[in-house]
Amino acid sequence: DTEVTQTPKHLVMGMTNKKSLKCEQHMGHRAMYWYKQKAKKPPELMFVYSYEKLSINESVPSRFSPECPNSSLLNLHLHALQPEDSALYLCASSQGGSYGRYGYTFGSGTRLTVV
Amino acid sequence: AQSVAQPEDQVNVAEGNPLTVKCTYSVSGNPYLFWYVQYPNRGLQFLLKYITGDNLVKGSYGFEAEFNKSQTSFHLKKPSALVSDSALYFCAVRPSSGGYQKVTFGTGTKLQVIP
């Protein structure tokens, strides 16, 4: 298995809703990442997990809450989002923890629309 | 601070012609350099990387890139473009030393291959 699987592919949520994005990989990668990408822009790093521990939080608002239940799963819990949070949310993983020299494997993303 | 410049927002090339997508970088010390491709409504796909060694790096789908330390460049090339190569291309850089180092992405270059 050489993929990062993200669910759901599309999500529409109201500003008072609570929802979660899920990311799964079975490649044995020990670093996992959440990125946010606006249209025609580069991905922006949100969080880094290395060996299931949160190692980087790029000053992301608390309405985004990451969770790494085990080495294969990464969740992003969403609460009280704003319309400007609408974007493509990408999960990625890499070998050997976040210190490695390896390229990232990205999932196809969750297209989030906040109404 | 590290940075990546992709000077062209869009590159147009005729099918069958060689293509070049430009990337220059700035980083402290030696770089790790990456190219990714993104098709519409998809995540990024890893194409190739430069870590050390041979300056000419070969990657997926017939792409290659040449690392030029004196010009701090890492241009992506392909000898013969296909219509299916039309996509958004991102160059990325991180320092090679110093523990966890954030990957910085360029702003992206849209490649349009004309039949």
pLDDT, residue A56, reads 84
Distance CA B52, CA B95 (A): 12
- The two tokens of residue B20 are 């070049």
**How would DSSP label each residue in chain B?**
--EEE---SEEEEETTS-EEE--EEE-SSSEEEEEEEE-TTS-EEEEEEE-SS-SEEE-GGG-EEEEETTTTEEEEEESS--GGG-EEEEEEEEESSSSS---EE---EEEEEE-
- Residue type for A31, please? A
- pLDDT higher than threshold 60 for residue A98: no
pLDDT at residue B29 tops 90: no
Cβ-defined contact of B96 to A111 (cutoff 8 Å) = no
Mean local confidence (pLDDT), B82-94: 96
Checking if the pLDDT of A77 tops 90, the result is: yes
Mean pLDDT for B37-66 is: 93
Q: Which of A75-89, B37-51, B62-76 has the lowest mean pLDDT?
A: B37-51
Mutate to test the interface with A, among B44, B97, B105 (most CBs of A within 10 A): B44
Decide which of B98 and B107 is more confident. Answer: B107
Over residues B8-27, the mean pLDDT reads: 97
The pLDDT value given to residue A99: 58
φ, ψ at A109 (rounded to 5°): 95, 160
Mean pLDDT score, A9-32: 94
R_g (Cα) of chain A, nearest Å: 13
Identify whether the C-beta of residue B108 lies closer than 8 Å to the C-beta of residue B22: no
Can you tell me the mean pLDDT for B52-73?
95
pLDDT at position A57 is: 86
Contacts of B53 in chain A (CB under 8 A): none
**Are A108 and B32 a contacting pair at CB < 8 A?**
no
Kindly state the percentage of chain A with pLDDT values over 90: 80
User: What is the distance between the terminal CA atoms of chain A, rounded to a whole angstrom?
Assistant: 36
Span A91-99, average pLDDT:
78
Contact B49 A108 (CB under 8 A): no
Q: How confident is the model at residue B97 (pLDDT cuts 50, 70, 90)?
A: confident
Q: Which residues of B touch A (CB under 8 A)?
A: 32, 34, 36, 41-46, 49, 51, 88, 90, 96, 99-100, 102-103, 105-108, 110
Q: What is the mean pLDDT of residues B83-110?
A: 89
A64 to each of A36, A85, B63, B114, how far by Cα in Å? Answer: 11, 10, 37, 41
B11 pLDDT exceeds 70?
A: yes
**pLDDT score for B12:** 98
- Min distance A87 CA to chain B CA atoms (Å): 11
Identify from B32, B38, B107 which residue to disrupt to test chain A contact, counting A C-beta atoms within 10 A and taking the largest count.
B38
pLDDT at B100 over 70: no
Q: What pLDDT does residue B42 have?
A: 87
Three-state SS at B3: strand
pLDDT surpassing 80 at residue B27: yes
